[in-house]
Amino acid sequence: MEAPDLVVPVREGYQNQQLRYALRSWAANLPHRRVWLVGGYPQWVRGAGHIPTRQTGTKWQNTTVAVRAACEHPEVSPTFVLCDDDFFVMRPVDGGMPVYHRGPADRVEAYYAARQTGAYLRGLRETRALLAELGHPAPVSYELHVPLPVEKAGMVKALDAGRHIDVLHKRTLYGVLAEIGGEELQDVKVMHRGPRGFGPDSAFLSTMPDSFDNGMVGQFIRRAFPAPCRYETPGRA
């Protein structure tokens, strides 16, 4: 069976060194047919497919546009793996990318409600309310910072169902409506400069710009993938 494509929403006009090392990690450890960058396409990238989009909304709206564009593109594989440009696969994935979720969505909501207010939390609550209306009163959350296998037709149905939500938790809406199941995993996002949350046993990592540029996790990732991969133009910074 042919490996799936990787789909990566990318912000325009951004040099994006996190993407460089994410590509190195996928080339080394995540079997795939082709990489598609949706939105931006840094000048140093080569050999990846490109799907231009208009980035005129919020970051959440722009990524929703990007995911729909990938689903509607005829050359993208029917099942693809949805990545962000700061997802790092630190060990080889054999037999295809597994499905992971973050556990009960109400628990994830409580975690964010204790730490912040704002658009992301509102979107979480609106997505969970929509799922309850659609017959899923106790959903799990798929808002993890790890790659997610996606079936195009199922994702389009989810995006259509959540069209009215401006901060749509699309991974969760898709995963629950498509009943993809999966294994619970603690989120791997490292938001600080110190050594907590990662190490030699980390299969997946994700970073913030500051933790990647200035933190120990960024040093750890750069040491793991020192050599350019097939998606980089030689000599381009």
* 170 exposure class (CB count in 10 Å sphere: 0-12, 13-18, 19+): buried
What are residue 206's DSSP bridge partners?
A: 87, 189
Looking at residues 46-63, what average pLDDT do you find? 96
CA atoms of 142 and 193, how far apart (whole Å)? 26
pLDDT at 236 (0 to 100): 67
pLDDT at 235 (0 to 100): 72
How sure is the predictor about 142, in pLDDT bands with cuts at 50, 70 and 90? very high
CA atoms of 173 and 131, how far apart (whole Å)? 7
Looking at residues 43-69, what average pLDDT do you find? 97
Does residue 131 register a pLDDT over 80? yes
Pairing label, strands 183-184, 35-39: unpaired
Q: At what angle do helices 105-113 and 119-133 cross, to 10 degrees?
A: 160
Beta-strand ranges (E) seen in 83-143 are 87-89, 100-101
Looking at residues 39-62, what average pLDDT do you find? 96
pLDDT at 195 (0 to 100): 95
One DSSP character per residue, 154-215 reads HHHHHHHHTTT-TT--HHHHHHHHTT---EE----EE-SSSSTT--TT-SEEEE-HHHHHHS
Looking at residues 26-54, what average pLDDT do you find? 97
CA-atom Rg of the chain in angstroms: 17
pTM exceeds 0.95, yes or no: yes
pLDDT per position as a tens digit, 176-214: 999 999 999 999 999 999 999 999 999 999 999 999 999
Beta-strand ranges (E) seen in 25-171 are 35-39, 49-51, 79-82, 87-89, 100-101, 148-151
Does residue 237 register a pLDDT over 70? no
Does residue 1 register a pLDDT over 90? no
What are residue 49's DSSP bridge partners?
A: 36
Two structure tokens written together for 220: 């750890």
pLDDT at 15 (0 to 100): 82
197: alpha, beta or left? (left if phi > 0; alpha if psi -120 to 50): left
Domains in the chain: ranges and CATH: 5-224 (3.90.550)
Q: Provide the residue type at 149 as one letter.
A: P
